[in-house]
Structure 1
Amino acid sequence: MNSSRALGLGPVFRQAAVASRTSRDRRLTYTSLFDRNIQTQSLPPSAAEKILNEQRLKRPSSPHFTIYQPQLTWLGSIANRITGAGLSTLMYAYFIAYLAAPETFASANVIELVGSMPDIVKYAGKTILAAPFAFHSLNGLRHLSWDLTKFITLKGAYSSGYAVLGATAIGTVALVLM
C-alpha cells in the first residue's frame, strides 16, 4: 500500500505537481507582501535576569494562601521547620559564645545567672524553650511513623497531628515544672 494513500495525502501531492509556476509565484508574492515585520532585540544577561525576577514576583505562593483553607498537615509542617530552625540557631549561638568566652558561658555561671532571675522570667524562658523543643521532638516522631507507613491516611494524619498538639501541651507543662 502506498504511504500517501494511507495518510490521505494523494490529492495534495497531485495538486502540488499540477500547480503552475505562476500560481506559486503569486502565492509567494502575496505572503511576502503581507508578512509582518518582526523585530527582535538583543538583551544583556542582566536585563534577562531582571525580567525573570519580575515574572517570579507575580507568581502565587504555594500553597496559595488566599485560596486554600489552612490545614493541620501543612501548618504542622511549617511549624516543625520554624521550631527546628529556631532551636538550631539558639544551640549554635550558645556554642559559638561558649567557644568565644568559655569562662563567661560556663555551666556554673549560667546556672548562677538563671538562679538570680525572678521566677516569672524563669518560667517564661523555660516555656519559650520547652514548647518548641516538645513540638519539634514529637512531630519528628510523627514523621518517623509516616516513614514506617503508619498514620498515612487522612484520618491518621489528623489524629496524629492532634495527638502531637496535645502531647506538646502536656510536655511543655512537664518541662516547665521541672
Structure 2
Amino acid sequence: MSAQRALHLTLRRAAAPGLTKFSPAGRFMQQRLVATEHAPESSAEKILVKQRLQRPVSPHLSIYQPQITWYASSLNRITGVMLSGGLYVFGLAYLAAPALGWHLETPSLVAAFGSLPLAAKVAAKMTIAFPFTFHSLNGVRHLIWDLGVGYATKTVIRTGWTVVGLSVLSSLYLALV
C-alpha cells in the first residue's frame, strides 16, 4: 500500500470513535493499542485454526447466474486438456507398442475401427471431432478478441452460442462423413 493511500485511510478513520491523538495536520488520529504475548507453537496453531473457522465463507460461484462465457471458457480448457492429453497418451502408447506387443500401426487401427457397429463409429468420431472443432472455433474467437473486436456483452453472448452451435454441427458432419 502506498504511503499516500495509508495516510488517506488513516485520515478517513479519524472520524471514528475512540480518537485520542492529533495528527500533524491537526486532525484526530485513531490510536490502537497492541497486546502481544508469547504463545507456544502448538497453541498458536490452535488459535490460528479457531480464527480461520470464524472467517466468512466466500459465496464463490453459487451466487452468480451461469453465463455462456463461463461454459465456453471451461469447455475450452477441458477440450484443450483432452486434445493434448490424448496426443501424449497415444504418442507414448505408440512408442511403447513394439516393446509391449501392441499393434497400433495404421492397418490394425483401421481394421479394429471398421469392425465397430455404426453407432459406436459415430460416437467415437464425435468424441474426437467435437474437441477439435470447439477448441479451434473458440480459438478463432479469442484471436478476434485479441484484435480488440467483439467485447460488447451482446456480441460476446452471440459469438459464444455461435461457436457452440457451429462446433456441434461441424463435429456431426465430420462424424457422419
Alpha-carbon shift at residue 42 of structure 1 (Å): 3.9
Structure 2, gaps ≥5 residues long: 1-23, 28-32
Deviations 1:43-77 (A, max 9, x none): 27xx59x95xx67x97537xx22100001112110
User: Once the two structures are aligned, what percentage of the paired residues are identical?
Assistant: 36
Tell me the equivalent position of 1:40.
38
Matches within 5 A, 1:157-168: 157-168=156-167
**Using the alignment, how far apart are the partners of 1:126 and 1:105 within structure 2?**
18
- Within 1, Cα distance between the matches of 2:83 and 2:25? 68
Deviation at 1:141, TM superposition (A): 0.8
Q: State how 1:19-168 maps to structure 2 within 5 Å.
A: 38-43=36-41, 51=49, 59-60=57-58, 64-102=60-98, 104-168=103-167
Shift of 1:135: 1.0
| Per-residue deviation, 1:87 | 1.6
Moved over 6 A (4+): none
For residues 28-47 of structure 1, what are the alpha-carbon distances to aligned partners after superposition, in whole Å with 9 as ceiling and x for unaligned? xxxxxxx9975332427xx5
5+ residue gaps, structure 1, are 1-5, 10-34
Alpha-carbon distance in 2 for matches of 1:93, 1:8: 71
Displacement of 1:95: 0.5
Q: Decide which structure has the larger Cα Rg and report it.
A: 1
